[in-house]
Structures are given as C-alpha cells and as structure tokens.
Structure 1
Amino acid sequence: MTLDESHETIRRLDGELWLPPEAIYPPPDEDGHIRETFAFYGLAMAKVQQLEMGAINLLVMARIVNARPKAEEIVGNPWEPLLKETLGKLVRRLKPYLERDPQFVTDLEDALKIRNMLAHAYFNVRCEEVLSFAGRNQMLLELQGIHVRMESLADRLRKACEPYRRSAGYPDELEDALMEQTLREAADRDSARR
C-alpha cells in the first residue's frame, strides 16, 4: 500500500484525523507475532540511528583533518552539534566527502526516504497489514530488508571514514579498544544490577 492509498483509509471526522481502533490496537498476540513485528521495526530504526552516527563520525573526522592545515581549533565536543541535526541535513553535509561515489549519495538519499517513512508513516501505511498474520509476515520481510540495507550503508560510511580517522591520528585499534571498553562498562552495569 502506498502512502497515498493509506491516506484514503484515514477518515476525517469532525475535522480531526481518525483511524479505526484496530489500526491503533492490534488484535490479541497469542503467538508473539505482533511483538516480533514491532521488535523488527525497532531494529530497523536502530540501524537508521547507526547510519546517522556513521554520518556524524565521517563529518567529525573530516572536520578534524581539514582543520589541521588551516590551524583551526576545534573547541569542545565536535560531535555534539551534529547529534542535533536531522539525517537529511547530515546527508547534504556528506555530499562533498562522497563526490567520487555518486551512487553512495543516492543510496543515502534513499535511506533518508526510508527513515522518514519508518518514523512518520510506517504503521499508518500498513494499518491493514498489521492485522493479519500474512500482512505481518510481509512487514517482517520488509523490516529485515531495511535492517540489512541500513547496516550495509553504515558499514560503507565506516569505511569512508577510515582515511580521515587515520589522517587524524586515530589508529584502527582505537575503535576496537573503545568498543571493548564500552562492552565491559555495560557488563559491569549489568553485574551491579543483579
């Protein structure tokens, strides 16, 4: 169902948007299938956020590398202002760094469209599908595909960031060490809660 088709299923009553209750409250979930559908939606959105962080990392590393020859000082946390930007703004800011790979830019622009659909319309567009087992299976396949696609794009951003990271003096091992430290800290928090 397209967005335009989904809008036909939305009715206007007394000037307010109205969705049928079953579109908001799915049927009973005896087999966990609905929960699995929502879980995969969450995983797809998590991968979008990973993609956004990859875009931010590339922009920060490029800024650090480009600042050195100009003797520009980077004050404070260079990630902080970028964390407030939308994926659309991040993609636009990435374009100069990805000029050699126009397909990558196109893929990121497509990812932005997918992200916006997920964030703003996914369950409205699929309000009928979520009501049936077959519809949810279709949604699960779609969400799994989105998950894989976003993960692939995040990996491509990580690879695009490598030359900037190395030029800025961050060795490859630093990323692994930071991940190990983060995992240890998470395990320590889990141990403290028990």
Structure 2
Amino acid sequence: MSPDDVFLAAGRALAQIHRFEHNLKGLASLVHSIHNAGETEPVVDFSGSSLGPLIDSVRRLVQVDPNFEDLLEEARLRRNHLCHAYFHDHSAELGTEEGQGRLVQDLQSSELLFDRIADLTTDILGRLIKALDAQLGTA
C-alpha cells in the first residue's frame, strides 16, 4: 500500500458521493415539480444545498422505506466526515503501510455505501417517472 492507493480509494468514494447527491437533487426536483405542476415558479434550486437540507427535502417529498432512511443518514454522516475531516482524523495512519491498508478498506466500504444509495435513488427516480408517465397516459 501507498498513500496513492489511499487517495485513489478516496477519489472513488467521492465519485460515488457525487452520483448519490446528483440523484437526490434529481429526485427532489422531480417530486417538487409533480407537487407544484402548473406553477410558474422555477423548480427549487438545490445547486447550493448542502447534503443535510437536500436529504430533508427528499424525506418531505417522498415516502421511503425506513431502511433507506437509515442508509441515507449513514451516508450523510460518512460523506460529511470524508469531505470535512477524514484525512485530518487519519493523518497518522496515512504514514504507515498498515494504516494505509486500513484506510483503503474503510474508503472502499464507504464507496460501496454511496454506490448502494445511488442505485436506490436511481430506482426511486425510475419508479416515479414510470408512475408519472402512467398518470399522463404516455407509458
């Protein structure tokens, strides 16, 4: 192991975070549009939202499985730690090969969580779009 392996694992986890956040923004925007059809106001702008308010918006707009809620919360906590404190908290481990191995495993675990959440939000988006198509008679 080397620091490069750790940084590669961090980059892969961050890429899944981006996918996860993008899907949440799409989900919140779609549901907001459905609930506010015909309004001239623009769709809610989530471009500057931090993850916490975005997740709260999704929770208010879409009823989701309680297990999904737990995954969202775990992903939020891991995302915030990775983006704001991870390397500070683990700086000593970055200096040893054994520590680097632990960091890579931890980051790979986070990547899998973010990937799972992204897949679940993709599925929810797909189901919402199909339901909307059916309501509009375009399915």
**Normalising by structure 2, what TM-score?**
0.86
For residues 150-169 of structure 1, what are the structure 2 equivalents within 5 Å? 150-169=114-133
Equivalence for 2:92: 128
Equivalence for 2:18: 49
Instruction: Give the deviation of 1:35 after TM superposition.
Output: 1.0
List, as ranges, runs of 4+ consecutive aligned residues in structure 1 with deviation greater than 4 Å. Answer: none
Is the 8 Å Cα contact of residues 98 and 104 (structure 1) preserved in structure 2? no
1:37 maps onto 2:6 in alignment: yes
Q: Deviations over 1:23-81 (max 9, x none)?
A: xxxxxxxxx7211211111111121111111100101111222223xx22354xx47x2
Letter of the 2:82 partner, please give it.
L
**Do the aligned partners of residues 50 and 100 (structure 1) sit closer, same or farther apart at CA in structure 2, a change above 3 Å counting?**
closer
Aligned with 1:67 (options 29, 32, 36) = 36
Give, in whole Å, the separation in 2 of the partners of 1:33 and 1:131.
Answer: 9
Q: Secondary structure at the match of 1:83?
A: coil
**Do the aligned partners of residues 100 and 118 (structure 1) sit closer, same or farther apart at CA in structure 2, a change above 3 Å counting?**
closer
Q: Which runs of 5+ in 2 are unaligned?
A: 134-139
Give, in whole Å, the separation in 2 of the partners of 1:47 and 1:61.
Answer: 21
For residues 59-98 of structure 1, what are the structure 2 equivalents within 5 Å? 59-68=28-37, 71-75=38-42, 78=43, 81-98=45-62
Aligned with 1:148 (options 89, 99, 112) = 112
Is the 8 Å Cα contact of residues 59 and 94 (structure 1) preserved in structure 2? yes
Is the 8 Å Cα contact of residues 55 and 94 (structure 1) preserved in structure 2? yes
1:58 maps onto 2:58 in alignment: no
Instruction: Give the deviation of 1:130 after TM superposition.
Output: 0.4
Equivalence for 2:81: 117
Identity %: 22
Is the 8 Å Cα contact of residues 31 and 62 (structure 2) preserved in structure 1? no
Instruction: Give the deviation of 1:162 after TM superposition.
Output: 1.5
Give, in whole Å, the separation in 2 of the partners of 1:98 and 1:144.
Answer: 29
Is the 8 Å Cα contact of residues 21 and 51 (structure 2) preserved in structure 1? yes
Instruction: Give the deviation of 1:168 after TM superposition.
Output: 4.5
Q: Secondary structure at the match of 1:72?
A: coil
Instruction: Give the deviation of 1:99 after TM superposition.
Output: 3.0
- Could you say what the CA RMSD is over the residues aligned between the two structures, in angstroms? 1.8
| Bigger-Rg structure (1/2) | 1
Is the 8 Å Cα contact of residues 98 and 105 (structure 1) preserved in structure 2? no
